[in-house]
């Protein structure tokens, strides 16, 4: 890795940190600037004014918002995520177990969907305009156009109601054997994969077609190269950056999809935790979950950026 | 190649048959949304059948819901919320995004840099999550929903419009106007806007789809339109228990959403070249 | 003598965006003998590249061959199967593209791409192919033939890439070479070297070739025969000598007379009292990037430029790409505020940026850009485009403004009815006239013309230049005329300044340009412009001055490459 690449990567890292700061700011103020006395909510209506006042001081609620933001940020960095309003538990403890579940779900989905999506996207671009390409396009547009919960609903109707292959809900607490595990993950993973792959196929196809339209691919054609050679040897190496971007952006759809999917299948992940937290207005929990999602998202974008930088021959071979 | 139906209406543009079908379905739903109270067969909130999750029948074309209300009437009223809120949201989002985007492109410099960085960061909050956070704090009302949806999608619209405007801004005719001494308002209104309107309209359509999906998602989670009102997403949520019986009450609202979003996509993908491909 | 290429009654149709099918090649016949180089010349849209590509059995997307045959080496590329065509390409016919910079894959080394033809068709072992490539590099006079192949395309210069593209085509020992405007994107001084290399290789190997170009002078150096095309039809065919010296067809005659522009018709007499300078540029420095501690930007493009331009005169600025000539125009127009130095108009200093200048100052100085396509707002009718400056500077409205628009159109010899049209409905020459009329609408003192005829076809450009000359005499305009094309400058300017690497190296009267240039770079530049004379390129070897200038240049190029590699 040379100095130019290193500098660009460090620059991207810096941009990510600034973005994260702005996001933290937005998340904090969207939730903290709201009406209602948090101390009062925590202690309930029957609490004495003295108790409420004491708690307010303990939570820095009597201090300006900007200071509280700094305290909160400091807490986040040092791993102190605060205490849940709803059950007065440590937020970090609440999240940690759930996070593993969510990451497992995301990981399995990624392993499942990325290879399939890349193959479909690249081959659709290779045979652009063919019947195969058109079918792939129509299916992906349809999947993108419908809400995630509808994909899930259809999956339940097909696999659980009519075929009765799989359970409609997944409870990961009691798992016996690999078969059971597969059955539990199957519905959420199938749903998520559909949502994520559709995006990825479309973007991969577009990226490859963009490079196929370049003069150097036409030059390869005029040298007598076969279609396979034009795609694999000339177009793909140059489409790597855009494809990495497509994969990262599509995987970020996991974040949106996971919220719906965990809810509909009752899957014990962070997203479900957050949706529940919203209904109880458990602000520290919401803030922490939101920050986790944003960090994941920004990390994905960062990885894609770095791949794009490294795969750019102009930067790599100075 | 699909066959083309010539339609010399107004602009003298051609649109092919798939696009025309898409446009027809969109117009149909808009008409339903406007006329809902007049054409709905039953009052929306009224329990009209003793049995819940009834199948389709001649008196209840789309069956009944979990309380025994007529689904057809509820879907018709649901169109008001889904189409109305989404349209208001996307209009606000695109107005903000496109205006700021064009100004940023023309003014450039620090203004552009800071605004772009800030909105990019804003954009890095996943949309559903942002919706959740806001609803968690402020609660859910129609105004909050519309403003939230607009805020979530304005940065994307900004980015898109700015990229187009930067391309136009680099053209010599804009430079000529600048050397002439024209002000920002003239530049944006006369030189930039007419040259990006086509792609911006296509983007408006796509963003409308995103907003419909997000609104449905929020309502599905119970955080969007609140009972007793219900948009299509909320209708799915209400009747989710009927899923295991394959009840029409859960299928039809989903189909309604899909028909709307897919037809917008069909229309955009088949827009005449003159609109779609300009300035890209 | 048998023909290696025979095209019979070729018709190619194309589908437009609106779905209409039009014929772009309308029954062309053409033959090329073994070892012969035939040039296809014509303006943009004449179908020359389309014809050349059919030799490889290829049409660009949207186009297809409707009828006819293209027989190369006894086989018809139209009737072939796709697999046969693949085997044919690169071995029987090879292609040298217009822009080698775009035709090289940025993520593969040059050597990989040069020997790719051998690999695809399994012509020879890899080591032999590499050896052969190195020999070709040497034959094409490329620097460091042993190692240049290991570089990536972005690490070599444009002129070198163009020669490397020729090596890439030659590796499969094709019988016919197709050159598609291979020197159009190059500067004149680079063009000479590339042309020479091509000519030598073709001659040594006795190869047949088809050479597509819009530049008659370039073609005159390399082709045996010339085919003149217009709108997909052959206008004239003849030996190079005959077409250049005794053109028979009207269109060819127009092409050739456009190449010999009238030298500036009436040089203003110096006897008259020396007019006051309208524009004075004093030690102008400008550039891009962040300001350094020395008060200069990171990339200095203009270095200490001085210019004086008198009222009613015209000054030409010539130089190659990167010489800073367009930056000079931008700095004067206020688009790029200078880092140091002064710009004075009518003796009064102008502020650096547009925003700081008064409306009156802006009115007096107008700029006209190269590409009329992008200089006119595609969504406004011509009338509205011309009306805006009238309203903006002169607050004209209603009937008076409409009458003035008519007058302006008349001035640039365009029919009044054109004012209802959109720019996309005009031809290139018409657009450029509207572009110029918009500048006239301001009633300026000085017009900066940035390459305004470069994108036009030769014949159209000549007419525009003539118009400019007339208007100058009628209206007493002052021009600053920026161009890379010396004959353009010769046609319209009184004086000419030569720019090189951001500095003005020399200024002289146009009449002295050909004979009296003193600076070595000016001499190189001026003598590099191809002449409409079939013996010009070969005769250059006898010019000792040019030879030494070339040698200097080559040394400089090698040094630049070495420096790029180190960093």
Following DSSP, what letter does each residue of chain B receive, concatenated? Answer: ---EE---STTT--EEHHHHHHHHHHHHHHHHHHHHHHH-SS-TT-B--SSSS----SSSTT-B-TTSBBHHHHHHHHHHHHHHHHHHHHHHHHHHHHHHHHHHHHH-HHHHHHHHHHHHHHHTS-HHHHHHHHHHHH---HHHHHHHHHHHHHHHHHHHHHHHHHHHHTSHHHHHHHHHT--HHHIIIIIIHHHHHHHHHHHHHHHHHHHHHHHHHHHHTT-SSPTTS--HHHHHHHTGGGGGGT-HHHHHHHHHHHHHHHHHHHHHHTS-HHHHTTT-
Q: Which residues pair with C281 in a beta bridge?
A: C307, C343
pTM of the model: 0.82
CATH number 1.10.10.410 given to C289-371+438-530: no
Contact C323, C380 (CB under 8 A): no
Mean pLDDT for the stretch of residues C14-35: 84
C58 touches chain A (CB under 8 A): yes
pLDDT in tens, C435-449: 999 999 999 999 999
Give the per-residue pLDDT at C186: 80
Look at the block and give the residue holding tokens 């791409």.
C113
- In this complex, which chains have at least 3 CB pairs below 8 Å with chain A? B, C
Residue contacts between B and C (CB atoms, under 8 Å): 54
* B220 contact residues in A (CB cutoff 8 A): 147, 149, 260, 263
Instruction: Give yes or no for residue C273 having a pLDDT over 60.
Output: no
Instruction: Give yes or no for residue B279 having a pLDDT over 60.
Output: no
Instruction: Give yes or no for residue B274 having a pLDDT over 80.
Output: no
Q: Write the residue in A18, A161, A278 that is nearest to B223 by C-beta.
A: A278
- In this complex, which chains have at least 3 CB pairs below 8 Å with chain B? A, C
Give the per-residue pLDDT at C552: 60
Q: For residue B2, name the pLDDT band (cuts at 50, 70, 90).
A: very low
Q: In sequence order, what are the residues at sequence separation of 6 or more whose Cβ sits closer than 8 angstroms to the Cβ of residue A305? A: A12, A245
Q: For residue A6, name the pLDDT band (cuts at 50, 70, 90).
A: confident
Residue contacts between A and B (CB atoms, under 8 Å): 133
Let me know how long chain A is: 318
pLDDT in tens, A150-179: 888 787 777 777 776 766 555 545 555 555
C117 touches chain A (CB under 8 A): yes
**Alpha-carbon gap: A209 to the closest alpha carbon of chain C (Å):** 13
B108 touches chain C (CB under 8 A): no
Q: Write the residue in A22, A147, A252 that is nearest to B118 by C-beta.
A: A22
Let me know how long chain C is: 567
Contact A313, C106 (CB under 8 A): yes
Interface test with B, best of A28, A142, A145 (most B CBs within 10 A): A145
How is A110-122 classified by DSSP, letter by letter?
A: HHHHHHHHHHHHH
Mean pLDDT for the stretch of residues A177-206: 80
DSSP code of residue A90: B
Q: Which H helix or E strand runs over C4? A: strand C3-15
As a whole number of angstroms, the distance between CA C503 and CA C324 comes to 8
Instruction: Give yes or no for residue B6 having a pLDDT over 60.
Output: no
- What is the rounded average pLDDT for all residues in chain C? 85
As a whole number of angstroms, the distance between CA A17 and CA A22 comes to 9
- Contact C105/A221, CB-based, under 8 Å? no
Mean pLDDT for the stretch of residues B45-55: 74
CA-based nearest residue to A295, from A287, A306, A307: A287
- Contact A259/B269, CB-based, under 8 Å? no
C154 touches chain A (CB under 8 A): yes
**Alpha-carbon gap: C79 to the closest alpha carbon of chain B (Å):** 25
Count of CB atoms within 10 A of residue A93's CB?
Answer: 11
Domains and CATH numbers, chain A: 3-34+81-316 (1.10.3720.10)
As a whole number of angstroms, the distance between CA C26 and CA C68 comes to 10
Q: What are the angstrom distances between the C-alpha of C510 and each of A281, B144, C39, C487?
A: 82, 72, 32, 10
As a whole number of angstroms, the distance between CA A42 and CA A88 comes to 9
What is the CATH code for C3-257? 3.40.50.300
Interface test with C, best of B6, B15, B171, B176 (most C CBs within 10 A): B176
**Alpha-carbon gap: B244 to the closest alpha carbon of chain A (Å):** 6
* C115 contact residues in A (CB cutoff 8 A): none
* B246 contact residues in A (CB cutoff 8 A): 157, 161-162
Q: For residue B280, name the pLDDT band (cuts at 50, 70, 90).
A: very low
- Contact C335/B175, CB-based, under 8 Å? yes
Q: In sequence order, what are the residues at sequence separation of 6 or more whose Cβ sits closer than 8 angstroms to the Cβ of residue A4? A: A315, A318
Give the per-residue pLDDT at B12: 42
Q: What are the angstrom distances between the C-alpha of C83 and each of A140, C78, C80, C325?
A: 33, 13, 8, 50
**Alpha-carbon gap: B213 to the closest alpha carbon of chain A (Å):** 5
Looking at chain A, the whole-number percentage of residues with pLDDT higher than 90 is 8
More confident residue, B120 or C97: C97
CA-based nearest residue to C459, from C40, C39, C44: C44
- Contact A222/C89, CB-based, under 8 Å? yes
Instruction: Give yes or no for residue A193 having a pLDDT over 50.
Output: yes
Q: Write the residue in A215, A224, A318 that is nearest to C103 by C-beta.
A: A215
Look at the block and give the residue holding tokens 């090698």.
C558
Q: For residue A182, name the pLDDT band (cuts at 50, 70, 90).
A: low
Contact C117, C123 (CB under 8 A): yes
Q: Write the residue in A226, A234, A311 that is nearest to C105 by C-beta.
A: A234
* B5 contact residues in C (CB cutoff 8 A): none
As a whole number of angstroms, the distance between CA A304 and CA A200 comes to 13
Q: What angle do CA C498, C503, C504 make, to 5 degrees?
A: 35
CA-based nearest residue to B175, from B102, B101, B106: B106
For C:16-55, CB contacts with B below 8 A are 17-19
- What is the rounded average pLDDT for all residues in chain B? 83
Options 1.10.730.10, 3.50.50.60, 1.10.3720.10, 1.10.8.60; CATH for B79-265 is 1.10.3720.10
Give the per-residue pLDDT at A33: 59
CA A223 from centre of chain: 43
**Shared fold status for C3-257 and C289-371+438-530:** yes
- Contact C374/B171, CB-based, under 8 Å? yes
Q: Write the residue in C89, C99, C107 that is nearest to A215 by C-beta.
A: C99
Q: Quick one: tokens of B201?
A: 């309209």
Mean pLDDT for the stretch of residues C52-70: 88
Give the per-residue pLDDT at C523: 83
pLDDT in tens, C392-434: 999 988 899 999 999 999 999 999 999 899 988 888 889 999 9
As a whole number of angstroms, the distance between CA C17 and CA B278 comes to 12
Query: What's the Rg (C-alpha) of chain A?
Result: 24
For C:305-344, CB contacts with B below 8 A are 333-335
Give the per-residue pLDDT at C47: 87
Give the per-residue pLDDT at C257: 80
A220 touches chain C (CB under 8 A): yes
Q: Write the residue in A224, A234, A311 that is nearest to C89 by C-beta.
A: A224
SS3 A165: coil
DSSP code of residue C370: S
- Contact B180/C19, CB-based, under 8 Å? no
Q: Quick one: tokens of B26?
A: 């969109």
As a whole number of angstroms, the distance between CA C191 and CA A212 comes to 30
Strand boundaries in C245-404, DSSP class E:
277-291, 297-310, 314-318, 340-345, 348-349, 365-368
**Alpha-carbon gap: A179 to the closest alpha carbon of chain B (Å):** 23
* B13 contact residues in C (CB cutoff 8 A): none
Mean pLDDT for the stretch of residues C543-547: 61
Q: Write the residue in C334, C370, C378 that is nearest to B179 by C-beta.
A: C334
pLDDT in tens, B191-212: 999 999 888 988 999 899 999 9
* B113 contact residues in A (CB cutoff 8 A): none
So where are chain C's domains?
3-257, 289-371+438-530, 535-567
pLDDT in tens, A44-59: 666 777 777 777 777 6
Sheet of C21-33, strands arranged across: C21-33, C3-15, C63-72, C75-76
- Contact A161/B244, CB-based, under 8 Å? yes
Here the ipTM equals: 0.79
B189 touches chain C (CB under 8 A): no
Instruction: Give yes or no for residue A83 having a pLDDT over 90.
Output: no
Q: For residue B273, name the pLDDT band (cuts at 50, 70, 90).
A: low
**What 3 state SS string does C480-527 have?**
EEEECCHHHHHHHCCEEEEEECCEEEEEEEHHHHHHHCCCHHHHHHHH
Q: Measured over all CA atoms, what is the biggest interatomic distance in chain C, rounded to whole angstroms?
A: 79
Q: Which H helix or E strand runs over C212? A: strand C208-213
Interface test with A, best of B29, B121, B211, B248 (most A CBs within 10 A): B121
CA of C450: which chain B residue's CA is closest? Answer: B172
CA C320 from centre of chain: 11
Contact C371, C453 (CB under 8 A): no
- Contact A294/B118, CB-based, under 8 Å? no
């Amino acid at each position: 890795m040379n100095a130019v690449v290193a500098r660009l990567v460090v620059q991207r890292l810096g941009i990510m940190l600034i973005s994260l700061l702005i996001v933290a700011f937005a998340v904090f103020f969207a939730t903290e600037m709201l009406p209602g006395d948090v101390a009062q909510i925590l202690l309930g209506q029957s609490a004495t004014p003295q108790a409420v006042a004491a708690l307010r001081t303990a939570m820095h609620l009597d201090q300006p918002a900007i200071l509280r933001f700094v305290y909160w940020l400091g807490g986040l960095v040092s791993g102190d995520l605060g205490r849940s309003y709803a059950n007065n538990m440590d937020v970090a403890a609440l999240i940690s177990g759930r996070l593993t579940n969510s990451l497992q779900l995301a990981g399995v989905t990624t392993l499942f969907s990325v290879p399939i999506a890349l193959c479909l996207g690249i081959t659709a671009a290779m045979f652009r305009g063919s019947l195969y390409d058109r079918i792939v396009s129509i299916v992906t547009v349809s999947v993108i156009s419908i809400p995630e919960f509808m994909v899930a609903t259809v999956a339940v109707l097909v696999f659980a109601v009519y075929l009765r292959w799989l359970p409609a809900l997944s409870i990961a607490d009691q798992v016996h054997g690999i078969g059971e595990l597969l059955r539990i993950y199957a519905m959420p993973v199938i749903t998520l994969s559909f949502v994520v792959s559709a995006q990825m196929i479309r973007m991969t196809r577009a990226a490859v077609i963009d490079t196929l339209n370049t003069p150097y691919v036409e030059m390869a054609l005029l040298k007598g190269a076969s279609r396979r050679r034009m795609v694999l040897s000339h177009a793909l190496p140059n489409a790597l950056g855009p494809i990495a971007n497509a994969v990262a952006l599509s995987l970020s759809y996991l974040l949106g999809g996971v919220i719906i999917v965990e809810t509909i299948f009752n899957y014990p992940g962070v997203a479900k935790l957050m949706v529940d937290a919203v209904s109880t207005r458990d602000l520290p929990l919401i803030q922490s979950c939101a920050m986790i999602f944003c960090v994941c998202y920004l990390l994905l974008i960062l990885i894609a950026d770095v791949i794009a930088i490294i795969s750019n021959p102009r930067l790599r071979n100075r | 190649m699909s066959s083309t139906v010539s339609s010399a209406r107004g602009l003298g543009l051609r649109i092919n048959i798939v696009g025309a079908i898409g446009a027809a379905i969109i117009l149909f739903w808009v008409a339903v949304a406007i006329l809902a109270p007049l054409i709905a067969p039953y009052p929306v909130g009224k329990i009209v059948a003793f049995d819940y999750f009834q199948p389709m029948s001649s008196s209840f074309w789309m069956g009944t819901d979990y309380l025994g209300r007529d689904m057809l009437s509820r879907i018709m009223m649901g169109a008001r919320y889904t189409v109305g809120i989404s349209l208001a949201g996307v209009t606000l989002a695109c107005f903000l995004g496109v205006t700021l985007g064009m100004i940023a492109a023309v003014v450039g410099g620090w203004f552009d840099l800071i605004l772009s960085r800030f909105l990019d960061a804003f954009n890095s909050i996943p949309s559903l999550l942002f919706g959740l956070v806001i609803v968690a704090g402020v609660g859910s009302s129609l105004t909050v929903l519309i403003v939230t949806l607009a805020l979530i999608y304005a940065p994307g619209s900004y980015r898109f419009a700015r990229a187009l405007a930067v391309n136009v801004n680099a053209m010599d005719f804009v430079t000529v106007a600048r050397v002439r001494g024209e002000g920002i308002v003239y530049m944006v209104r006369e030189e930039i806007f007419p040259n990006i309107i086509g792609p911006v309209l296509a983007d408006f359509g796509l963003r409308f789809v995103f907003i419909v999906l997000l609104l449905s998602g929020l309502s599905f989670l119970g955080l969007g339109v609140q009972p007793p009102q219900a948009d299509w997403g909320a209708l799915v949520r209400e009747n989710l228990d009927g899923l295991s019986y394959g009840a029409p009450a859960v299928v039809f609202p989903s189909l309604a959403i899909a028909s709307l979003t897919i037809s917008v996509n069909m229309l955009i993908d088949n827009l005449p070249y003159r609109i779609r491909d300009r300035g890209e | 003598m048998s023909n290696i290429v025979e095209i019979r009654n070729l018709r190619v149709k194309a589908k437009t965006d609106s779905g209409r099918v039009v014929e772009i090649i309308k029954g062309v016949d053409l033959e090329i003998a073994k070892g012969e180089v035939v040039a296809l010349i014509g303006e943009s849209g004449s179908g020359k590249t389309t014809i050349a590509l059919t030799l490889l059995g290829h049409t660009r997307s949207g186009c297809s061959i409707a009828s006819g045959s293209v027989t190369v080496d006894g086989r018809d590329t139209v009737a072939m199967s796709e697999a046969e065509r693949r085997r044919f390409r690169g071995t029987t016919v090879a292609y040298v593209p217009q822009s080698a910079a775009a035709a090289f894959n940025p993520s593969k080394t040059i050597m990989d791409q040069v020997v790719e033809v051998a690999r695809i068709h399994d012509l020879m072992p890899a080591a032999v192919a590499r050896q052969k490539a190195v020999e070709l590099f040497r034959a094409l006079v490329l620097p460091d033939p042993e190692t240049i192949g290991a570089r990536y395309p972005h690490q070599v210069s444009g002129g070198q890439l163009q020669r490397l593209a020729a090596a890439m085509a030659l590796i499969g020992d094709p019988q016919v070479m197709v050159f598609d405007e291979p020197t159009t994107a190059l500067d004149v001084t680079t063009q000479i070297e590339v042309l020479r290399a091509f000519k030598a290789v073709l001659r040594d190997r006795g190869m047949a070739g088809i050479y597509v170009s819009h530049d008659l002078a370039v073609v005159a150096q390399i082709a045996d025969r010339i085919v003149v095309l217009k709108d997909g039809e052959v206008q004239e065919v003849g030996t190079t000598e005959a077409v250049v010296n005794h053109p028979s067809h009207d269109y060819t005659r127009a092409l050739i007379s456009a190449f010999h522009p009238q030298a500036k018709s009436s040089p203003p007499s110096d006897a008259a009292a020396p007019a006051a300078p309208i524009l004075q540029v004093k030690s102008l420095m400008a550039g891009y990037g962040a300001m350094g501690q020395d008060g200069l930007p990171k990339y200095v493009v203009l270095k200490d430029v001085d210019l004086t331009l008198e009222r009613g005169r015209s000054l030409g600025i010539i130089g190659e790409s990167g010489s800073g000539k367009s930056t000079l125009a931008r700095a004067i127009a206020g688009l790029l505020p200078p880092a140091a130095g002064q710009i004075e108009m009518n003796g009064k200093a102008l502020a650096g940026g547009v925003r700081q200048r008064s409306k009156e100052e802006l009115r007096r100085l107008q700029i006209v850009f190269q590409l009329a396509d992008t200089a006119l707002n595609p969504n406004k009718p011509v009338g509205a485009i011309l009306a805006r400056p009238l309203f903006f500077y002169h607050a004209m409205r209603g009937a008076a403004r409409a009458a003035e628009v008519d007058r302006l159109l008349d001035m640039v010899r365009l029919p009044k009815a054109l004012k209802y049209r959109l720019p996309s409905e005009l031809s290139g020459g018409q657009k450029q006239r509207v572009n110029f009329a918009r500048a006239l609408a301001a009633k300026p003192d000085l017009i900066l013309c940035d390459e305004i005829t470069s994108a036009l076809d030769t014949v159209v450009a000549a007419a525009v230049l003539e118009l400019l000359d007339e208007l100058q005499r009628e209206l007493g305009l002052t021009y600053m005329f920026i161009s890379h094309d010396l004959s353009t400058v010769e046609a319209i300017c009184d004086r000419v300044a030569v720019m090189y690497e951001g500095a003005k190296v020399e200024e002289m009267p146009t009449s002295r340009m050909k004979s009296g240039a003193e600076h070595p770079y000016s001499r190189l530049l001026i003598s590099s412009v191809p002449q409409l004379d079939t013996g010009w390129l070969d005769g250059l070897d006898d010019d000792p001055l040019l030879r030494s200038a070339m040698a200097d240049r080559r040394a400089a190029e090698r040094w630049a490459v070495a420096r790029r590699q180190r960093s």
